[in-house]
Structure 1
Amino acid sequence: MQATMQQDGSKAIIKLSGSFTFEVHREFKQVTNSALERNDITALEIDLGDVDYMDSAALGMLLLLNERSAGRKISLVNCKGTVRSVLDIANFSKIFEIH
């Protein structure tokens, strides 16, 4: 998986691609920490449009990100196919804004 971050005003856009699994937890934490360390970031947008697979560890990483976000709004965007199904089954729409 690749993870990149860009800033759009006060929002950090984190684009993920490939398989979102436990093997990429360090890279995911590194890129999300770089966004959370910035005081001018008030929202995070996780772009899952190029993610073709995610496992339960990925769900856990998103939950931990939510805990570490210190009240920042987190939205999951471009969720489709299997990724959207996994998020729906896990009821993540109760925790995150999903587009």
Structure 2
Amino acid sequence: MAVTSTISGDGADLTIVIKGRFDFSSHQDFRGTYENLPHKPTRYVIDMQDTAYLDSSALGMLLLLRDYAGGDKANIQILNASDDVKRILTISNFEQLFSIE
């Protein structure tokens, strides 16, 4: 499992890429991608193109990111999720909390 991130030149957009399994073992790496920045981004993109699996702890990590990013005002987009990952997000009603494409 690998979590990497890139920040836009103006610092407004943070893209987090998750490869492999997204579970509790990635907790520190995931939080580190957004908590240690000099300025809080205004937009977050979670790229799950290569995410093979996520569990309940991953759902919790996404909720922690949402709280950190501003709760109901957060601008978080989940992109490129596989059908299996989308199914888990949908069953968990995450489409009401995040933009999932």
* TM-score with structure 2 setting the length: 0.87
Correspondence for 2:39: 38
| Structure 1 gap ranges (5+) | none
Give distance in 1, aligned partners of 2:35 and 2:48.
Answer: 18
C-alpha change, 1:38 and 1:72, in structure 2 (3 Å) is farther
| Structure 2 gap ranges (5+) | none
Identity of aligned residues (%): 33
**Superimposed CA distance per residue, residues 7-62 of structure 1 (whole angstroms, 9 cap, x where no aligned partner):** 23521111110100011101111112135x424x2100000110000000000000
Deviating runs (4+, > 6 A) in structure 1? none
Q: In the TM superposition, what are the counterparts of 1:25-64 in structure 2 within 5 Å? A: 25-35=27-37, 37-39=38-40, 41-64=41-64
What count of residue pairs does the alignment treat as equivalent?
97
Q: In the TM superposition, what are the counterparts of 1:10-89 in structure 2 within 5 Å? A: 10-35=12-37, 37-39=38-40, 41-70=41-70, 71-89=73-91
| More strand as a share of residues | 1
